[in-house]
Structure 1
Amino acid sequence: MKKTIFILSLITASVFNFSCSSNDDNTPEETPGANALIGDWKISKYLFINNLNGQQIGSANPDCSGKNLYQLKANNFLNIRMYKSTQNGACLDTPTNDDGQWTYNSGSKMITFYGDADYKVKSVSNTQLEIESFDEGYVDYFDKDYNNDGVIDKVVTVLTK
């Protein structure tokens, strides 16, 4: 469960819009508008996208993961306040915290959390972030064929401030 929350946290961190400096030292620098993306984010919904034609084929509201708080900070620090689900689907009141680092590649629009979890940033605004999750078997929404065409569909996680 912690891994699931962790990965969802990583998705949220993709809100930041950083680029490498011109001296190629791989130190992220803030780009215009990035300050508006720094803050507290929560998952508002999941979008299911046809993997063949890119069309939206459905959506779902988050369960317990919708209570998770993803705090994105300008220093590439990420704090995730996670709520745990019980086997009967209830959310535990006592959240846990998970801290980590993230990096963002503005060229590929990929965000990486904890050094090894990559996510594609689909869109970012002052109040909403959409990131594409890849093969996230830890959440019920991932790894499914929603339109029964024989192809696993994509899931885009939508977060709001």
Structure 2
Amino acid sequence: MKTQYLSAKLLLIFLVFNLGCSKSDDGADSQTTLEQQFIGTWKPLKFVIVCSDGGNEIENYSACEQTGRLTISSNGTWSETYFYEYVDNMCEEDGVDSGTWKIVNGKLIIKESEFGEAEVTFFEISESTLKVGQYDDDFSCGIDNVSSHYYTEYVKI
């Protein structure tokens, strides 16, 4: 009887400890998870403009443009190769950008070789989808020129 009581008590302590101490309670653990989700190779799918009046403008990338890649490395560097479909369906590399990245308090900060450091103001990520863009007061869309934000949507490959 004492052994069963002791076993039940140990099981209860184990459950309380493990259920009470989830990783999501610690900001550092969720930060690491966000970084881990971000690291990898991403294929561009579409460019989206979201108007505050509810209208969206979506430009799906062609098969050629989707051969481009955004590569996020664990050492804090990134590079992106762009492709463009020219006349006669010729698909050619259209440029390469690179720089460094960091995530601070859930916000993505990038540094490009040419333009310096900037905070990405629109950043959403899941295990397989990445949306990176900007809220832009100088950019408007729709008939009434309402405010908007825009982003490129990627899928992890």
Shorter-chain TM-score: which interval?
0.5 to 0.7
Return the offset for 1:59.
Answer: 1.5
Aligned to 1:45: 46
Tell me which residue corresponds to 1:111: 109
The correspondence of residues 52-63 of structure 1 with structure 2, limited to 5 A, is 53=53, 55-63=54-62
Q: SS of the counterpart of 1:35? A: helix
In proportion to residue count, which structure has more strand?
Answer: 2
Query: Within 1, Cα distance between the matches of 2:46 and 2:80?
Result: 18
Unaligned runs of 5+ in 1: 1-19, 22-29, 138-142
Per the alignment, residue 79 of structure 1 pairs with 79
Equivalent residue for 1:150, pick from 115, 122, 145: 145
User: Contact between 1:128 and 1:159, CA under 8 Å: does it hold in 2?
Assistant: yes
Alignment-mate amino acid for residue 102 of structure 1: W
1:68 aligns with 2:79: no
Q: Say how many residue pairs are matched.
A: 123
Letter in 1 for 2:61: P
Would you say the 8 A contact 1:49–1:155 is kept in 2? yes
Which structure would you say has the larger Rg?
2
Superposed displacement of residue 33, structure 1: 4.9
Identity %: 20
Q: TM-score, normalised by structure 1?
A: 0.58
Q: TM-score, normalised by structure 2?
A: 0.59
Query: What residue is the counterpart of 2:100 in the other structure?
Result: 101
Q: For structure 2, which runs of at least 5 residues remain unmatched after alignment?
A: 1-26
Which structure exhibits the higher relative contact order, with contacts defined as CA atoms closer than 8 Å and separated by 6 or more residues? 1
Deviation, 1:75, is 0.9
Contact 1:47 1:56 in 2 (8 A): no
For residues 30-80 of structure 1, the C-alpha deviation after alignment (integer angstroms, 9 at most, x for no partner) is: 6135323311112111222123x5x35231212564332111011101122
